[in-house]
Each structure stands twice: as structure tokens, then as C-alpha cells.
Amino acid sequence: MKELSLNILDISMNSVKAGAENILIKLVETADTLTLTIKDDGCGMSEDTVKNVMNPFYTTRTTRKVGLGVPLLKLAAEQTGGGITISSVSEKDNPDEHGTTVTAEFFKNHLDFTPLGDIVSTVTTLIQGSPDREWRFEHILDGGSVELDTKELREILGDVPLDNYEVIKWIEGYLREGYESVNNV
Amino acid sequence: MKSLAELAAIRDKMKDKVVLREGSGEIRVVVGMATCGIAAGARPVLNAFVEGVSNAGLAEKVTVSQTGCIGVCQYEPVVEIFEADKEKVTYIKMTAEKAAEVIEKHLKGGKVIQEYTISNAIS
């Protein structure tokens, strides 16, 4: 993947497929690290499955026999000296509180750090594709933070769906302006 | 600064339109957004369709959605176009530029761009 934001898009799709109602994408940056957390309340995975998702030849899909999403994120993190952890509680084991959390740590000053890229485009793509889920995005940087919560938007929007084109454009503009004001600090 | 008041204005504007939208989606544009598609550049292709369809005034007729792996990863980004009573058209190795062309010629003009289809690649 050319941008970390593409890995984030890809991994977040797993949360959608897991039937999550709430998905959090959180980025925390310091001078030399970037920590990514993707947390969902989807169906979760058994312990065995958690072990298997690191393996590129494991997939739940039937159209082909390799699942590269998690291995690619792992590679992107490890090649900077960081790594990933996955914790998950399956719905079977705990019907009341289940879901998956993927955490990845990157060292930004490493030569092999993949730039974050167009994260705004990733967030709008996710909301456009799955407007029925609640998305929370937080990016904490040195100069401040950029945040978006679809629950808050929905309260204002009422019956107008989140994938309405003007709403998507508003979200895109809102996030881009958020980044501009953080960068200008 | 983008304000929440702007969002409320969008809501008020859409109030009358929501009813009109029902029964829409005569044409469905589906973009493959699995790992293979994303790595090959599906994100800008999807965005080009979302933006282009709206700008071309086709939003009432065309819906743009995402799907997982279509199974032909070597041809990603792949875009499928479904239209009632017509055969499915599969465009391969798509780019944002090709997407703009597909909107203009196929979605607006009704003419399939054979050159970009999978049947052109395998025949």
C-alpha cells in the first residue's frame, strides 16, 4: 500500500464485515511515533482466528485463498521498528460485550515509514460505503486534534442519510479545514 | 469554517428531495473495495464516481456503492455496472480519468466503452 490511510481503509472494512455498529479510528502522533487504533463492536473472533489473521494464507473469503489486509498492516508497522496487536472478544464468548481492537505502532522517522497520505479521503469513503454505521474519527497531533463523530451529525441530519453527496462533501470539507487549522498552529 | 449550521441547511434542502429519490437506482455502479482493489487504486476511482455522478446530475438515476473482492484481483480496480434488462458491464484497471469517461459516455450517453471492459482484455 502506498499510504497508511489505505491500510486504514482496508482494515476498517473488516469491522464493517464483522457487523459492527460503532467503529472508532484513532490516530495519536508524537514527534516520532504514530499509534493507530481501530476498535469495533462487531462479532469478534475466537482466539484461534486472532492467531490466524496474521497469516497471509488465512482468509474467511471464498473468492480467493489469501487474506492480505492484516499482514500488510503488520508489515508496514514492523518495517519501521513498530508492530501490531489484535485483541478480540467473540460474540459467542460474550454476547454483551464483543468486538475487535487492532492497534499498530509506527516509528515515523524510520526510512521505511509509509506516509499517512489522504486520511480524509479514507474517512469519507468509509462513511459513503457504510452510512448505516456510527463512525468516530480522532486524530491527535502536536498542534491539536481533528475529530468527527457521525452520531453528532446524524442528530442534525435527521432522515437525510450520511451518504448524501452534499453531506459527504461537507464532511470532507470539515475534516480538511480541521487539518488546516491544526497545521497553522 | 464548515459549521453545523451548514449541515442543518443541507438537511432542510434535502427534505423535499428525499421523496423524489425513492424508486431511483436504475443504474448501479459497484466499485470493488477489498484489499486488492484498494491497493490497486480503487479509492480515487470510487471518489471520482461519487463526485462525477452528482456533478453530471445523474444522482437520481445512478447509485454508487462499494463491494468486496470480485475475484479478478489482477484486473483491479474493477467497476461493475448493473442496469435493469441489460448485461452487466465489468470495467477493469480503472482510474479516476477513465471513471470520468465512463460517466460521460456510458452512464450519460448509454454507450459501453468496450476498450476498458474485461471482455476486451480476455478476448
DSSP A12-23: HHHHHHTT-SEE
Query: Over 70: is that where the pLDDT of B25 sits?
Result: no
* ipTM, two decimals: 0.89
Could you tell me how many residues make up chain A? 185
Q: A34 pLDDT exceeds 90?
A: yes
**Rounded-to-integer distance, Cα A13 and Cα A68, Å:** 13
B69 closest CB neighbour out of A64, A128, A158: A64
Say what the pLDDT of residue A79 is.
96
Confidence class of residue A59 from pLDDT cuts 50, 70 and 90?
low
Confidence of residue B33 (pLDDT cuts 50, 70, 90): very high
CA distance A119 to A152: 20
Classify domain B23-122 by CATH architecture. 3-Layer(aba) Sandwich (3.40)
Residue B23's pLDDT is 46
Number of structural domains chain A divides into: 1
Q: Domains of chain B: which residue ranges? A: 23-122
Using CA atoms, how far apart are residues B43 and A115, in angstroms rounded to an integer?
A: 16
**Coil, strand or helix at B20:** helix
Nearest to B66 among A69, A129, A166 (CB): A129
| Shortest distance, CA B71 to any CA of chain A (angstroms) | 5
> What is the structure's pLDDT at B75?
96
Q: By the CB < 8 Å criterion, does B19 face chain A?
A: no
User: Is residue B11 less than 8 Å (CB to CB) from chain A?
Assistant: yes
User: What b/e readout covers B10-21, taking b as 16+ CB neighbours within 10 angstroms?
Assistant: bbeebeeeeeee
pTM: 0.91
The CATH number assigned to the domain holding A16 equals: 3.30.565.10
pLDDT per residue as tens digits for the range B90-118: 999 999 999 999 999 999 999 999 999 99
